[in-house]
Every structure is written in structure tokens, then in C-alpha cells.
Chain A
Amino acid sequence: MRPELSVQGTATAIEGPLLFLRRNVEVGLNEAVEIIGEGEKPRLGRVAALDETVLVIEVLESTGGLGLQDVRVRFFGEPLHAALGPGLLGRIFNGVGQPADGGPPVALARRLRIDGTPINPASRELPKDFIETGISAIDLMNSLVRGQKLPLFSGGGLPHDRIATEIAQNARLRGEGEGAFAIVFVGIGISHETAEAFRRAMQDSGALAHTAMFLNLASEPSTQRLLTPRCALTAAEYLAAEEGRHVLVIMTDMTNYCEALREVSASHGEVPSRKGYPGYMYSDLASIYERAGYVRGVKGTITQLPILTMPAEDISHPIPDLTGYITEGQVVLDKTLDHKGVYPPINVLPSLSRLMDQGTGAGYTHADHPSLAGQLFASYAKAVRVRLLASVVGRDGLTEIDRDYLEFADQFERRLVHQVGRRTLEDSMELGWRVLGRLPRAELTRLSDAQISRYIRPDREGKPHA
């Protein structure tokens, strides 16, 4: 590292989060700086643009109170780093990785660049080990595997916070590696109450012992939100690489992150792309989501469960759209199900886990798990089409088989998707076979004859043409 370098009196302008300096020092792009105002505590920033005469610094906190004359800028000579060490678990940090629970600073063992480095695709292992979340609609229908990134697409007023907390409390690995499980919980631009609720829930359930929380509050400057997930992921990478843990990173709410990105991009005067979001939002999101994975030679893994609220419940909005193109599937919450009192209100049809084939079936979960899920999907999709038909022509216009499908759809939502408390995968599978019993056997084309005779029992109510 170079000797400390700082300048004063070269500031020419402050515009929003940007500080313009006359360039009289040799610094590189993206290097970290500290901005020190008269009698104020230092603020973090980074070099955002450079030419021969001007140096633009993006201040990662509010620029309120800074003046052109007295502002002093100290250059670190390297990009932003996080200091990490043992004792991360059980702790609560703010959005830039400083302790926020009144505890002492973390002992320093490693300094890591918070932007991470792209993982060479050739050094990735295939994610394949199943993580049980305790939720049927995820475990049975859209299984999460270690090293995957599976976002939760939610909407205003939907219980995504409750689901996130429950997953954080209940998620477990099956078999070996169970003890090496850790959670990194990341709050991005969340309200004070939500943050407090998370903190209390984790503390009360005892889950905080294997959790590190990074909380950036809605009241904190938006530039900081760009750092929060990066700090948290750096900590997760430390836990995976140095402590060999399997880390589940829960990030809520990525929509706030994208809003901050748009705000900062606008302040730079960049050409906007769709809906005012910057054209590089895909690449920027990828630099966060792609940090999930299972790297050869590293004992631990990083699994991501980002949560985002879809603006106006629109899945084609750029935020969910770009996320869906990067992540390995999505779990979609649905308002209609919520209104029906189904909890968790997961609509399995638009939901998807791309890596499910790799982490389920013989040797991972259960040999018949994939066929069961496949049959449930096919039948429920058909049932939803029938429901649409019924809403126009009424039940009487339907054929007998179609009426069975209507009944099946209700059973599927009320008995399988809806749940109170956690379920093991075996419980979920048992329920799955049971609701399929509501349909005529000839309709179960995704199951083999052996599977039908082994598992499918006609439903209690019986059917005329089983």
C-alpha cells in the first residue's frame, strides 16, 4: 500500500452524491476514498470517473454539511475492502459492514475486496445438494440446491418478510454438512420496524447464533445500498472459504437496491435504458447474483435467496425481468392466493427452480420426487386452465373430468401449498400423492404404471372412473 495521500482545497463542485475535485494526485479508477468534512465523521466514497483535469468522487453517504473549502479527501490507493475475521456469526452490522449491535469490531483475519472477483466458470462445481426450507411449494415443487440463486418475487402487502424469517429459522441441510450451515441476512433499504422485527425474530428463535445480519435502513443514503449486498457477500465468501460453511444469503429487498442504482446513475447523467434504469443494470445485478456458487477446492458454498417486490405486481418490470434472466429460477408469490388465506401464497406455475433436476431424485432426495413434481405441475396447470374456462361458462359447461380438475386445484392449494409450521420433504411428498388421488388415473400421464399402483390411492370421496 502507498503512504497515505490526502488533498484539501481542490474541490470544485458538489452535486447530489458527486464531489468534483481538480485532479492533482495519481489515483486509479474505483479506488476507495474517505471524505472528511469540518468536525464531521469520515464518509466513504470511491473514484467514479477520471480525466486529465477532473476527479469525480461518488460519496457513499449524504453530502449534507460538506463545503468546498474545508473538505479533505483521503485516498486509500485500493478499491473498497472489508475487514473480516472469526466471530462474524451472531453479530449485526450496518450496511457498510460496521458493527451495529454495540459489540466490538470483528477481529481482523482477512481483508477482501468487496466487489469480489468473477468466478472462473471452469472452476465451478455443479450445485446439486438439496436444501430443505420446510416449505412444500419450494421443497417439493421448486427445490433449492446448494450454490443456487433462487429469488422470491413478491408484491406489496404479501408476507415475504415472514417467509424470509421462517426460511432463515427452518432451513437445513440433509445429512452431512448440517452443522456447517450459516445464514447471512441482508436488509437493503428496509424500514426500521422491519429491521427490528427481523432482529427480534432471529434472536428469539435462537437462529441468530448461526447468522450474520447486515442491515441498511430506508433512512440511510441510497448510495450505501449499493455496498450493502457486496459487503454481506464478501462476508459470506469469507465464511464459505475460510470457515468451510454452507452459507444461505437472504437479501431483502433487491427492488430498493435497483432504485438506488437508478438514482445514482441519474446523478451521473448516464443515458437511461428501460424505465429509467441504467443500461448496465443486467451486468450490475449479475455481479451480485453470480457470487452464488460452489467453487472447486472451497469447502463451503454460497446459496442466495434474494427477495424483491415487483413494482405493481408486474413480473415484466425490468427489476424482476433482469433478475429472472440471471438467477436460476424464481419463486413467485400471488395476491389471489393470499386473499384465499393460503400461506405461503406461492404460485407454483410461474415459479421455477432450474437446478431442481440436479438436486432431486435418486441419491439426492427420493427417486420418485421428480416425477411427482412433474405430474403435479402438469395437472395443476391444466386445472388452472379449466378454472379460467369455468369462470366464463360456469361449472355446468364443463365435462366431468374438468370438474375433477377444479376440485384438484382447490385441494392442491388448500392442502399442499398451504401449511402451518415446517414440513419435511417426506411429509410434502405424502401430501402430493394424496392430492393426485383426486384425479382419474388415466390423467396421470407423467407417472409410470408402477408409481401409480404404488402411491396413488383414490381420494376419500371416491371417483366414478378411477
Chain B
Amino acid sequence: MSEAVIRSIGGPVLHARAKGAFRVGEVIEIGARRLPGEVIRLKEEELVAQVYEDTTGLRPGDPVYGTGGPLAVRLGPHLLGSIFDGLLRPLDGALDREALPRQGGGQFRFRPLATAGQALGPGSPFGEVPGGGINQLCLLPPQLAGTVESIAEEGTFAADTNLCTIRTPAGALREVGFFRHWPVRQARPVLERLPSDEPMITGQRILDTLFPVARGGRAALPGGFGTGKTVLQETLAKWCDADVIVYVGCGERGNEMAEVLHDFPSLVDPRTGRRLMERTVIIANTSNMPVTAREASIYTAVTVGEYFRDQGLHVSLMADSTSRWAEALREVSGRLGELPGEAAYPAYLASRLAEFYERAARVRTLAGGIGSLTIIGAVSPPAGDFSEPVTSHTKRYVGAFWGLDRERAQARFYPAIHPLQSYSEGAGRFASWWTERGNPDWVAQRERLLSLLESQADLERMARIVGKDALPPAQQLTLLCAELVNESFLRQSAVSPVDRFCSPERQTAMLRVILRFIELAEAALERGVAPQTIAELAILRRLQRMGEEIGEDRLDRIPALRADLEAAMADIEGAPRHAA
């Protein structure tokens, strides 16, 4: 392989004189410790590379070795339930050994899905790794097809065993095992991209009902510090309706990773009854780890997501935070002396963001199955200013935008998603999904809520000028109803064992009760009941605490609550004590 000699080093960037052919994007090994790096620029003899480790102690004259290949990661059945660094090197052998389809000492179970003589197309499964909640498939690499020459019997094999031999149409023999490598900066091929008309249920009322994200869609989660980005990302990772979660902590806190590692093994997926850790891959590059590996970690995570998608699974990728990744780009760009763009970010920031988000999709896999990769990226705008480059470029590429609001967060109103700043493009396409789940009125209900919240904002501005008392009764009632929607429906505690997850059925039931209250209250107002009287009804407190008091297994209490509501409202209709 080619060699080079270091000429100078500054931070994570080095310049070297090449003695042989290098390629842009080629992985190199540096110095006696063989630190990993990647070539980013070539000019005649001169080679510029970024180093993925701390460069302390490197010196001019140290050797650089080429490897011939691009930055690639090893994909296989070892990923689920474990934690890796930005280059997919294990940070801890196995955290949750029992959960893994692994038989100590790096062994896996294998069950063949093909027989000798069978013809297999590119990306087809030839076997599976049973256990651990999900049967992981062993797929042929996308560029390989042929007939099965021989295949292993069902059994337990060492990780590096060759399981299957394929004879290609050209007559060559190729061996495949549990693992395959894939270059992280290249999207894995699919048969076709499919439209997505199905929401990815997150178990969060404000998201599923107001701002749903599609399976295979993209969502951005921007918010200043302390607005609850990370808690929301973790909540989504815990309860969203996906087969596999890839959680990438990019330039964030070490204690957050510790929290994920601590919580996930003990939590149970409400849909499958299996432990959450079994469906999770964690990629951690904390803020104090090398900045260049932070840049790579996003691509690593997407590649892992695509690997599971190609097995016909629904994958959700949580990236926290894409801003730190953009800052890593900026730092390396600055070291290279590139012309800075807006806020000193490199001019190619937007195209890099687009490349990343474009890898989310609902697809028909090479093997003919249907899989999806949904990307939810947190953004940390400096000073919470959504007009900064990372947020504004991200906005162009995502379908759902969940803006976090500092004022809500300060009142400990979580999730602090601002209903008027957030949006979900083309939410109407999910109507048929909700109809199938027994709620044909979803579109109308959603519009009702949004317009109610819109008028609340207008009226509060007005009240600031004329005083709340001066508002006409109908507007006072609107404020009361909007407050109820916020308090009882949009607020949802991530730490409450009862309310942290809300199924679509429960969301619909709660929403119907609330909308019925609004209907009845408006009718009462028509009959001359004062808003103040309605505000003092005891039933209101029960509605406000509905999420906390009526859990998933207590949905049968809803009719009783509704009956009490009807009775309470009928009562004031009969005797308007404080009629205006």
C-alpha cells in the first residue's frame, strides 16, 4: 500500500508528502500507534487528512500508511443491544448479554434460509440469526448474486465463519458470513423508493395527533439548551413504533449516554413486551471525544440504519445533535483554510445536510421486502435562534418540524413543542390510517385544535392590552378551552410511568372527551352561563389529570368520565347560578 510522511500537524488535521497513490476518502493509518484517519484533499505530492484520534505526540516525519479502501464499518448481528463509538468500534463488549443473539465468545446462531443450488439475487437473505426479539437476516451484499454452492446447517458458529458459498454467473466462488463491510458515505442501494402514507407512531400526543412524521420521513427537533431536546429524543427512542432504534449521541454529554445505557435495559416495549435494549444500537461520540470522529458518526449511524432497513425492518434514527456535527465540519473546514460561509460554516453545509436527510426513506429492498428508515435530527441553534444556518437549512429538507419553545420549557411544560411554530407537511395523507384505527374525524379534530391554539395566541395578545376581564365571554371561554387542551392533552410527562406512552386509541379517546367538553361549554355559553362558572366546575380538574389518571389499561373508565361530564354540564344548563 502507499505510504506518506507527515509534514505538519495542527489539531486534527495533518499534511503529508505522499510516496505513492492515495485516493480522496481513503482510510489511512498514522504513526506508530496506527491512528485512523481519512484523506480529504490531494494536490500533487501533498496529502491532507483528518485524524480520528487525539493527535498529541504525533510529529513531522512520522509515517502514514494507505489502506486502499474508503471509511467503512462492519455490519452484522453484533450491533443490536450494544454501544459503539463514531467509527463503530465497540465501547463495551456486550452490555446486555442475554438479550443478544450471541453465544459468548463472539458466536452466533445461524439458520439457513436457502438451499444448495438455489439462485439468489443481490441483497437476498440466505440465512437468519434467531433470538433477541428480532430475527436478523443475513443478506448477500448488494453487488453479489449467483447460485448457492453450499450453505451451513442450522447451528452456532464463530463470528468469522464462512456460512455460505455463492457461485457467481461468471463462475467465481464467493464466501459470505455473518458480517459485511459497507462504506459509510455511500447510501446502500434499494429496488425503489416508496411513497409514505403511514405515520410513525411515537406515543406522544402532540406529535401523533398534531405533527405526525411519516415512516421513512424526516423530522427536525430544534431548541435552545434546556428546552428538552434530549429528553424528547430519548422518549421517542423508547416508545416510537419502530423495529430498530439507532441512537447517535453526536458531540453531546457523556452522562446522557450513561442514562440511555441505564434505562433501556430495564424498560419494556409496550408493543412487543421485550426489553427496549434488544432493539437499540447506540453510537456515542461525546463532546470530549475527537471532533473528527463526530463528523463520521452521523454517517456511521445512517449506514447502520440502512443495514437494518434492508432486512425489511422499520428503523428510526435519532441524531442528537446535528449541530455538533455541523460544528465538526466547521472546525475541520477552518483548519483547512477553506473560505467560510454563513456563521463560519463551510459553504457545503447545506449539501451535506441534504445528503444526510435524503438517506431517510420508505423503500422496497433489493430482496423485495418493505423497510423504512426515519430520521429525527435534533438541532441546537446558538441562543435558540431558528434563523441560524443549521436550523434554516435543515428546515428545507425535513417534512416535520418540531420547534421547542423556551417559555414552555421554563414552565416545565413538556414536551415543550410550540404548536404554532411547528408543522408537519401533508399531514392529510395520514387520514386513512387514522380512519382504519377507528377515528374518521382525525383531520377535522386536528384542525379544530390548531385553530383553537391559534386564537388563544391572538386573544392573549389582546388581553395584554385590554385586560382579561374586558374580553367578551365567548373569548374568555376560548382561552379556557385552549388552556385545557394544553394542560390535559399536549402536556405529557416523560417520567410518568402512566403517561409516558399514549397509544393512538387512547389519544383518540382523550381527544373526543376534550372536544365534547368544548362543545358542551360553548352550548352552555349560548344559554347564558358565565365562563367563570364553567371554569369552577370540578369536572375540569378530572379532565386536566386524565392523562395521569387513565392509563392504557384503564380506557374503560373513559365512558364514565364522559357521562360525568355530560351530567355536570347538564347541571349548569338547568341552573345557571352565576349567569352573566
Contact = CB atoms under 8 A, between A and B. Distances in A.
Interface in A379-393: 381-382, 388-389, 392-393
Contact of B254 (A293, A355, A393): A293
B515 interface: no
B61 A321 contact: no
B436 interface: no
B60 A52 contact: yes
Contacts of B11: 280
B83 A121 contact: yes
A52 B257 contact: no
Interface string A75-87: 0000100000000
Interface string A317-332: 1100110111011100
A261 to B, nearest CB: 14
A349 B330 contact: no
B225 interface: yes
A29 B487 contact: no
A50 B59 CA distance: 7
A398 B468 contact: yes
User: Taking each of A27, A272, A282, which has the highest tally of chain B beta carbons within 10 Å of its own beta carbon?
Assistant: A282
Contact of B288 (A52, A283, A352, A354): A283
A30 B231 CA distance: 37
A119 B55 contact: no
Interface in B38-63: 55-61
Interface in B410-447: 410-413
A23 B411 CA distance: 59
A279 B262 contact: no
Interface in A82-107: none
Interface stretch (A9-17, A123-131, A197-205, A246-254): A123-131
A352 B327 CA distance: 25
A380 to B, nearest CB: 8
Interface string B536-551: 1010110011001000
A270 to B, nearest CB: 7
A442 interface: yes
A278 to B, nearest CB: 9
B531 to A, nearest CB: 10
Contacts of B324: 282
Given A49-B8, A377-B412, A290 B254 contact: yes
Given A123-B92, A352-B226, A147 B331 contact: no
Nearest to A394: B467
Contact of A124 (B56, B255, B343): B255
A370 B383 CA distance: 28
Given A271-B344, A293-B255, A122 B468 contact: no
Interface residues of B, number: 77
A307 B483 CA distance: 38
Interface string A19-57: 000010011111100000000000000000111100000
Interface string A355-384: 101100000000000100010011001100
Interface stretch (B149-157, B214-222, B458-466, B559-567): B458-466
Contacts of B532: 399
Contacts of B385: 316
Contact of B253 (A328, A393, A442, A445): A328
A51 B344 contact: no
Given A279-B344, A282-B287, A442 B541 contact: yes
Interface string B79-107: 00001000000011001000000000000
A357 B289 CA distance: 27
A445 B344 CA distance: 47
B59 to A, nearest CB: 4
A290 B286 contact: yes
A131 to B, nearest CB: 15
Nearest to A291: B288
Interface string B341-368: 0011000000000000000000000000
A283 B335 CA distance: 15
B56 A148 contact: no
Contact of B487 (A26, A290, A445): A445
Interface in B246-264: 249, 251, 253-255, 257-259, 261-262
B189 interface: no
A120 interface: yes
Interface in B262-293: 262, 284, 286-289, 291
Contact of A31 (B57, B226, B251, B466): B57
A358 B57 contact: no
B495 interface: yes
B344 A29 contact: no
A336 B261 CA distance: 42
A393 B466 contact: yes
A118 interface: yes
Contacts of B343: 273-274
Contacts of B538: 442
Contacts of A326: 253, 287
A124 B254 contact: yes
A212 to B, nearest CB: 23
Interface string A266-293: 0000111110000110110011001101
Interface in A53-84: 79
Given A120-B91, A121-B249, A316-B383, A126 B468 contact: no
Nearest to A375: B412
B380 interface: yes
A121 B286 contact: yes
12 contacts: A31-B56, A49-B9, A52-B8, A118-B286, A121-B284, A270-B334, A279-B334, A293-B258, A326-B253, A402-B468, A442-B538, A448-B545
Given A280-B291, A283-B291, A290-B286, 4 more contacts: A122-B261, A127-B258, A329-B226, A389-B463
Interface of A: 23, 26-31, 49-52, 79, 115, 118-127, 147-148, 270-274, 279-280, 282-283, 286-287, 290-291, 293, 315-318, 321-322, 324-326, 328-330, 349-350, 352, 354-355, 357-358, 370, 374, 377-378, 381-382, 388-389, 392-394, 396-399, 401-402, 442, 445, 448, 465
The 9 closest A-B pairs by CB, nearest first: A397-B467, A316-B383, A51-B8, A381-B411, A286-B287, A121-B257, A324-B225, A122-B92, A124-B258
